[in-house]
Chain A
Amino acid sequence: MLVSLNLLKRYVDLPATATPEEVVAKLSACTVEVEDFFEAGKDLKNIVVCKVVKLEKHPNADKLRIVRVDMGKDSLLKVVCGGINLYEGMLTAVALPGAMVKWHGEGESVKLERTKIRGEESEGMICAANEIGLADRFPAGELEIIDLTVLDFQIGKSLAEAFELDDVIIDIDNKSITNRPDLWGHYGIAREVAAIYDSKLKPLEIEEKAETREAKDKDGSGLKVSIKDYKLCPRYLGLMVENVKVKESPLWLRNALTLVGLRPINNIVDVTNYVMVEIGQPMHAFDAEVVGNIVVRVANQGEKIITLDKVEMELDPETLVIADSKKPIAVAGVMGGLHSQITDKTKKIILEAANFEAVGVRKTSQRLGVRTDASMRFEKSLDVNLAEAAIRRASYLIKEIIPEAKVAETIVADGKVATSEETIEMSVGYIQTKTGVEISKGEIVDILKRLGFVVKDKKENLAVTVPSWRATGDIKTKEDLSEEVARIYGYEKIKPEFPEVRIKTLPREGERIVINKIKDQLSGRAAMNEILNYSFWPKKLVDDLGVEREAELIGLLNPLSEDQAYLRMSLVPGLLKNISDNSRFYDEFKLYEVGRIFLDRKGKYKIEKHSKEHLPDQPYYLAGALVGPANKEPFWEAKGIIEGLGEEFDLDFVAWSAGRNPFYEFINKMTDKEKRLVIVNGKEKIGWIGEVNVSTADYFGVKNRKIAVFELDLTAILEAKEELKQYRPAPKYPVVWRDIAIEVAWKTHWENIKKEIAKINPLIKEITFLSEYDLGKKKSLAWRVKYQSEERTLKDEEVAALEAEVVGMLESKFGAKRR
């Protein structure tokens, strides 16, 4: 919301020392978030009002003229100009060297310099409205310069000053006044400034004489208004104004609106908007010739209205409308109807000021997809009493700017007048404890009074009555009052003080420790780079991989784009995309991610403490991807990494049996049919490791590289009870190492050989794989065996006998031959 400092100053006296910077600093320290503030007239620097004294032909150009202008100085200024509407005696604006202008109203502003045009010296530039950012106020044809003659400005005056643009505009963050309906107009902000500076808030000039006639006191004549739903519309006021002449507003009004970002329309609409800008109460004006008596009711199913923005809207019984006896004439709190809008021909108007219930307006505005200056205010829950203040202020202004208008002497009203005021009791001690400051009773009372609260001292407690403009849901509890006191007292004055705490047993954060251990191992020993990817999957990925057939896939209801249509159910596709993106810069690299995936099945978290319903499952997963040149086998390194983790956690591998894929079908489809294994924890299948098949790599745009991938559900590992390692003394007797190489059929798996050897004798302590060779029809396998006894030194003969036993077993069980 834009706030004009000049307008603020009309309602509150500021000390002469208060600079705009200071006001802004205080507002942001005590009240709201100020996004920015700027001098309104700074774009008009070095542009002054001048009078065209003499027009001469340009000797070298037909379309240009030499203009002598008077700018209140001793001598005339010589300016070359191509404006077609120039005449002697005309008042216009001349930009002097140093001014910022937009050539022909287009492009960036440039700094004006003294120049020669077609050989003739030009000491300035006579401006068109669009060249100095005034096109909104002075619409003009092409090549027409700005004509200020009717405004009768003083010659030589700076244009900013002449237009009352020497103002400072403060841009307040709307989010910071979400809870403050009273701050959606200048008067509310002025009230805060007055409280901060301990200065007096001036009363608004309003129409005081008019009588408000409540609907229940029927007298049968004139305008009638009635409310059908007092919950959705607590208050409605109407005022008939006849004999109006709709035309452009006076300059001060147009300026005031433009300064705070509103477009002037006509004198009637401008008055309603100006009142909103002043006190935050949206208003509306109907053409009284085309509407009858006013009824506030919910719409009938299927009723339609064409709103001011010329859009036809279909209404339903959840929408509150303003209607006459025939049809809706406005969507309450959101927008007026086109049919009854104020036009040049309008002679008679009905002014409306009403209070609409916040949630209703908010829902309607959301349903219709329209957010207006009015709906933004109503949905914050406005003070019911503000409506009457608004209509009286509007009445006052109309009488001022349209003296011939005949304003009705009676304001017609329906609904309640807010009288019930909330009173909150609190102790001085409460404020002191809450703030941590020994703030005195006197000071607390003073601050609250400055903000408009009525405070009664009841010895033990203070009874604080909330003014109507804050009793809008904003101030309800003593916590709310503590904020009022603390912010005006000044947060910066509160001295930091550490809390005194009791030491307490802390729960052991097992999961975090385990995740840290895993990451340390992967980023350290395995030299992998940790990645964080989005939790979302694009629709295209889901379609292309056929994931939508997976029952546990979860979709987003309102994705921003198709790139975030689903929640990820695997970390692997993200890593494959990372590989594709990075492979332009690196040949070999290793990535991993630890993060939650989302599955539509019962998870561990409840939706509420007492509810039986659970949130969908969202386990932590770990996935890694290793990429290398086509002649390497990153599969082995990937497996080694999992084996490394297996030293810390209980992990093992089992075969990925064909036809019985333990995981999702899309994962089955992504991996090579031979190069893959299932990772188990105890008996539970918790993950897999495999090579990405060529078609999948190709889909992700990775060519001539091999990619190995692993993925594990960490749930079991994170929940496992930590098993502490037990110390074992180093063996006392020497080790004997023996290497063996055999020739064996390709189909023979190393894992089986190893298991069988281990069974032979407990003196066989370790079997370490050395190599696999291609022998054509068969393969060679080599390994090293560690023999060791815990009781004695082994004899050569003993080891030789064991070795013979191993070879014998290999021959009989696997048809192997020692090499």
Chain B
Amino acid sequence: MVPSSSFAEFKAGFFPLIFTKERINKEDMLQDKLKKIKQEITAELERTRTLEQLEELNKKYFSRASGELTQLVREIKNLAEEERPMIGKIANEIKREAEELIDKVRVGLVEHSAGQNKEKIFDPTLPGRKGAAGSLHILTQIRREVEEIMAGLGFIVVDGPELESEWYNFEAVNVPSWHPARDMQDTFYVKSKGKIQKAKVGGEGEREIDYKLVMRTHTSNVQVRAMEKYGVPLRCIVPGRAFRNEATDARHEHNFHQVEGLMVDKNISIANFKAVLDAIIKSILGADYKTRIRPGFFPFVEPGFEVDLSCILCQTKGCRVCKQTGWVEFCGAGMVHPNVLKAGGVDPEKYSGFAFGFGLERLAMMRYGINDIRLFESGDLRFLRQF
């Protein structure tokens, strides 16, 4: 509806001031014309009932080429110089007020017409229009989360090769070629086209090493690389792909992702490891989780630990998921073996540290109730789009 109070204001406006002087000259004529046109606009606006009529009115008075008000404003330049500012000001004022009023009338008409069409009712319950959504792989998401948390604890994220020398994958982490522990990790060996069997190694203890290449069996291959590159003290994690030459099933995959963690500093103890481990687990999984460590054997650590997590389903009471033990195995860990520190050029008499390694898939499976590890590298959008 047309708001009437505006009209009253508009009519009262500047007119008393303008019409106090009674002079019949050019400027008075122009003032009269302006006054008249203002009345006309007001009157017409009161009769305006549709947007089309409003558009007509707009054109009639305000069109740049032939609008009646526009014409009047152009006439101002014919006035005497001393009169121009005052009349110009009045004209602008009238123009501005008229335009404001037209906008108000327009808003009124639009709202009015929206309420008129009772048959065609807008249905706000129709679904919104979403843009297409992409997704990050669930392992990328969970990996980023781990990286964030570890970065907060001052661990840097280090990358390393997936196709690795036997030296960094095994020897450097205290798994010599004859060691039965090599059986624990079914290794993919890589055909080397070159004829090299042995590679000369310079430096202090000059010697020959086997030039054999493997798909890294763990991301622990970066332990010694990281010590060489960054020195100690060192806190780092190594997320990445690892490979095991074993048949796949719901729990085993030959391509998988691991996060290795390493901290080397002075006087690092088992008590320190327990505290940091607990902090990591609580940050990633939630404060409800408890951890415990048991003896475990991994050649790169001494002592070595198996890390268990409290079973979130039964809160350590024992259920089917945890085979009635109340705990589920989570990762391997331990205090860094002096041979590994030595391989990294670190003096084990001065420094000690801990290391741990867990599977990202395993973490994701526990967290999201995923029951088949093969889904992660299946490329199945029905799986990937859920996250």
Identify the A interface with B (CB < 8 A): 28-33, 36, 175-180, 358-359, 362-363, 379-380, 433-437, 477, 479-480, 482-483, 486-487, 491-492, 494-499, 501-504, 506-507, 509, 511-512, 516, 519-520, 522-524, 526-536, 554-560, 564, 567, 574-575, 577-578, 581-582, 585-586, 589-591, 595-596, 598, 600, 603, 605, 607-613, 615-616, 618
Q: Does B100 contact A (CB under 8 A)?
A: no
B297 with A177: CB separation less than 8 A? yes
Q: From the candidates A487, A507, A598, name the one contacting B303 in the complex (CB within 8 A).
A: A487
A499 to B278, CA, bound (A): 13
A394 to B288, CA, bound (A): 54
Interface contacts beyond A479-B338, A492-B292: sample of 14 additional A-B pairs, CB < 8 Å, sorted by A: A501-B233, A512-B159, A519-B140, A522-B134, A530-B135, A531-B379, A557-B189, A558-B189, A559-B245, A560-B246, A567-B163, A600-B193, A605-B161, A615-B165
Q: Does B286 contact A (CB under 8 A)?
A: no
Q: From the candidates A507, A598, A609, name the one contacting B230 in the complex (CB within 8 A).
A: A507
**Nearest-CB distance from B219 to chain A (Å)?**
13
A434 to B136, CA, bound (A): 42
Chain B residues with CB under 8 A of A577:
379
A509 with B190: CB separation less than 8 A? no
Chain B residues with CB under 8 A of A607:
165, 167-168, 199, 209, 211
Cross-chain pairs A/B with CB under 8 angstroms, 27 sampled: A31-B295, A176-B306, A178-B180, A433-B267, A435-B270, A477-B302, A480-B302, A486-B270, A497-B272, A498-B276, A502-B233, A529-B135, A530-B135, A530-B136, A532-B376, A534-B255, A535-B255, A554-B190, A555-B191, A558-B187, A558-B189, A560-B254, A600-B193, A607-B199, A608-B167, A611-B202, A616-B190
A615 with B161: CB separation less than 8 A? yes
With contact pairs A530-B140, A582-B381 given, residues A498 and B272 touching in the complex (Cβ less than 8 Å): yes
Identify the B interface with A (CB < 8 A): 131-137, 139-140, 144, 147, 154, 156-157, 159-165, 167-168, 178, 180-181, 183-184, 187-191, 193, 196, 199-203, 206, 209, 211, 213, 215, 225, 228, 230, 233, 235, 241, 243, 245-247, 254-255, 263, 265, 267-272, 274-276, 278-279, 292-297, 299, 302-306, 323, 335, 337-338, 352, 376-382, 384-385
B297 with A178: CB separation less than 8 A? yes
B269 with A435: CB separation less than 8 A? yes
A618 with B163: CB separation less than 8 A? yes
A710 to B139, CA, bound (A): 23
**Nearest-CB distance from B217 to chain A (Å)?**
13
B199 with A613: CB separation less than 8 A? yes
A482 to B268, CA, bound (A): 13
Chain B residues with CB under 8 A of A504:
154, 233
Chain A: which residue is nearest B225 at the CB level? A605
Chain A: which residue is nearest B329 at the CB level? A33
Q: From the candidates A178, A487, A528, name the one contacting B134 in the complex (CB within 8 A).
A: A528
Chain B: which residue is nearest A487 at the CB level? B295
Q: From the candidates A176, A495, A591, name the one contacting B297 in the complex (CB within 8 A).
A: A176
A299 to B202, CA, bound (A): 38
Chain B residues with CB under 8 A of A520:
136
A603 to B161, CA, bound (A): 10
Between B279, B292, B294, the greatest number of chain A beta carbons within 10 A of the residue's beta carbon is seen for B294
Chain A residues with CB under 8 A of B247:
560
Q: Which 3 A-B pairs have the closest CB atoms?
A: A436-B271, A436-B269, A483-B303
Between A557, A575, A590, A596, the greatest number of chain B beta carbons within 10 A of the residue's beta carbon is seen for A557
Chain A: which residue is nearest B277 at the CB level? A496
A528 to B154, CA, bound (A): 32
Q: From the candidates B137, B233, B267, name the one contacting A531 in the complex (CB within 8 A).
A: B137
A582 with B380: CB separation less than 8 A? yes
**Nearest-CB distance from A603 to chain B (Å)?**
7
Chain A: which residue is nearest B158 at the CB level? A509
A36 to B337, CA, bound (A): 29
Chain B: which residue is nearest A509 at the CB level? B157
**Nearest-CB distance from B146 to chain A (Å)?**
13
With contact pairs A379-B180, A434-B270, A434-B352 given, residues A556 and B306 touching in the complex (Cβ less than 8 Å): no
A499 with B162: CB separation less than 8 A? no
**Nearest-CB distance from B164 to chain A (Å)?**
7
Q: From the candidates B162, B206, B296, B380, name the one contacting A596 in the complex (CB within 8 A).
A: B162
B272 with A499: CB separation less than 8 A? yes
B154 with A501: CB separation less than 8 A? yes
With contact pairs A502-B233, A529-B385, A610-B202 given, residues A497 and B154 touching in the complex (Cβ less than 8 Å): no
**Nearest-CB distance from B378 to chain A (Å)?**
8
Count contacts between A and B, CB distance < 8 Å: 266
**Nearest-CB distance from B307 to chain A (Å)?**
10
Chain A residues with CB under 8 A of B235:
501
A535 to B302, CA, bound (A): 33
Chain A residues with CB under 8 A of B230:
507
With contact pairs A494-B274, A610-B201 given, residues A554 and B191 touching in the complex (Cβ less than 8 Å): yes
Chain A residues with CB under 8 A of B268:
499
Chain B residues with CB under 8 A of A559:
188, 245
Chain B: which residue is nearest A504 at the CB level? B233
Chain A residues with CB under 8 A of B305:
491
B131 with A527: CB separation less than 8 A? yes
A479 with B337: CB separation less than 8 A? yes
Q: From the candidates B159, B245, B302, B379, name the one contacting A574 in the complex (CB within 8 A).
A: B379
B162 with A582: CB separation less than 8 A? no
Chain B: which residue is nearest A28 at the CB level? B294
A520 to B132, CA, bound (A): 14
**Nearest-CB distance from B181 to chain A (Å)?**
6
**Nearest-CB distance from B293 to chain A (Å)?**
5
Chain B residues with CB under 8 A of A564:
188, 254
**Nearest-CB distance from B132 to chain A (Å)?**
4
A590 with B134: CB separation less than 8 A? yes
Q: From the candidates B160, B181, B265, name the one contacting A501 in the complex (CB within 8 A).
A: B265
Chain A residues with CB under 8 A of B376:
532
**Nearest-CB distance from B243 to chain A (Å)?**
7
**Nearest-CB distance from A468 to chain B (Å)?**
20
A178 with B209: CB separation less than 8 A? no
Chain A residues with CB under 8 A of B163:
554, 567, 596, 598, 615-616, 618
Chain A residues with CB under 8 A of B160:
605
A12 to B270, CA, bound (A): 31
Chain B residues with CB under 8 A of A180:
297
With contact pairs A499-B263, A502-B233 given, residues A532 and B275 touching in the complex (Cβ less than 8 Å): no
A616 to B162, CA, bound (A): 10
Chain A: which residue is nearest B229 at the CB level? A507
A5 to B156, CA, bound (A): 48
Q: From the candidates B140, B201, B279, name the one contacting A611 in the complex (CB within 8 A).
A: B201
A527 with B303: CB separation less than 8 A? no
A176 with B161: CB separation less than 8 A? no
Chain A: which residue is nearest B182 at the CB level? A362
A436 with B180: CB separation less than 8 A? no
A496 to B277, CA, bound (A): 9
**Nearest-CB distance from A228 to chain B (Å)?**
22
A608 with B209: CB separation less than 8 A? yes
A591 to B378, CA, bound (A): 13
Q: From the candidates A362, A434, A487, A610, name the one contacting B180 in the complex (CB within 8 A).
A: A362
**Nearest-CB distance from B22 to chain A (Å)?**
45
Q: From the candidates A176, A177, A496, name the one contacting B275 in the complex (CB within 8 A).
A: A496
Chain B residues with CB under 8 A of A482:
302-303, 335
A591 to B189, CA, bound (A): 30
**Nearest-CB distance from B323 to chain A (Å)?**
8
Chain A residues with CB under 8 A of B304:
483
Chain B: which residue is nearest A437 at the CB level? B271
With contact pairs A29-B294, A590-B134 given, residues A529 and B165 touching in the complex (Cβ less than 8 Å): no
A494 to B323, CA, bound (A): 26
B275 with A558: CB separation less than 8 A? no
**Nearest-CB distance from B259 to chain A (Å)?**
13
**Nearest-CB distance from B370 to chain A (Å)?**
14
**Nearest-CB distance from A729 to chain B (Å)?**
31
A608 with B245: CB separation less than 8 A? no
Q: From the candidates B133, B139, B156, B206, name the one contacting A532 in the complex (CB within 8 A).
A: B139
A564 to B162, CA, bound (A): 15
